[in-house]
Amino acid sequence: MGWARTAIPSPIPPEVPVNTALRHDPEAGGAGGSQALPKAVLFDMDGTLVDTEPYWIAAEHELTAAHGVTWTHEDALRLVGQQLIVSAGVLRAAGVPMEPVDIVTWLIGRVQDRLADEVPWRPGVLPLLADLNAAGVPCAIVTMSYRNLAEAVAAGAPDGTFTTIVAGDEVTQGKPAPEPYLTAAERLGVDPADCVAVEDSPVGITSALASGASTLGVEAVLPVERRPGLSRVRSLDGAGLDLIARLAAGEVVDEY
């Protein structure tokens, strides 16, 4: 659940070089029509690339029920996009008698088990990723989930789909701070202002906008509220390179 799963900061590992395709010339237009494509597209994971929010919410309900703690769907929605260690602290405060780090480990294990069975891609995601890959536009996963979960999702995509992963356990300040998106742009060697970021949660959108990236909000478990400079669509189903090029050119698209 965009459940921004950050924990205790750890050193940022080297970029994971997955996509080695030649990069497009950003001045040449090409696959994006008459407009240039961005230098990179940075994707949030939970709720944006994959429909894992129900996995996280179910895990929270299972954990709280096991300890006799009342936990509502509204409680779960308030954690969407938050750092995982912060969310674990909320669960502990609600009555779960475990240390936050142990809560994090327990929840990750439950979600990882579900991902082992199936990676639930959101509608339109795989075709868009394929188009971007064919056009030589590097793509990154920028998530507050931990690296092991992000790698499980990346492994479910065709080889070479993602150039790098920035995970919640690799940054000091998680979303809504801009650090995750700034880190992704730095690893790719591009200016955040030359990137398009795709997000679903209010916390993630705040992070992406603060980084300077052109930001597209896509509805998942929460509505995407109108904000200055924010583009909005209800789904990536049918989204293509033309939309990405329009966003890269600075157009604010509202198809909500």
Catalytic residue among 44, 131, 169, 200: 44
Q: Tokens representing 40?
A: 């990179």
The position carrying tokens 């995601």 is 125
C-alpha–C-alpha distance, residues 223 and 205, integer Å: 12
Catalytic residue among 25, 46, 51, 237: 46
Q: Tokens representing 183?
A: 């880190």
Are 160 and 47 contacting, i.e. CB atoms less than 8 angstroms apart?
no
Active site residue 75: no
DSSP state of 10: -
Active site residue 117: no
Quote the distance between the C-alpha of residue 228 and its chain's center.
Answer: 21
Across the chain, how many H-helices and E-strands are there?
Answer: 9, 7
- Just list the catalytic residues: 44, 46
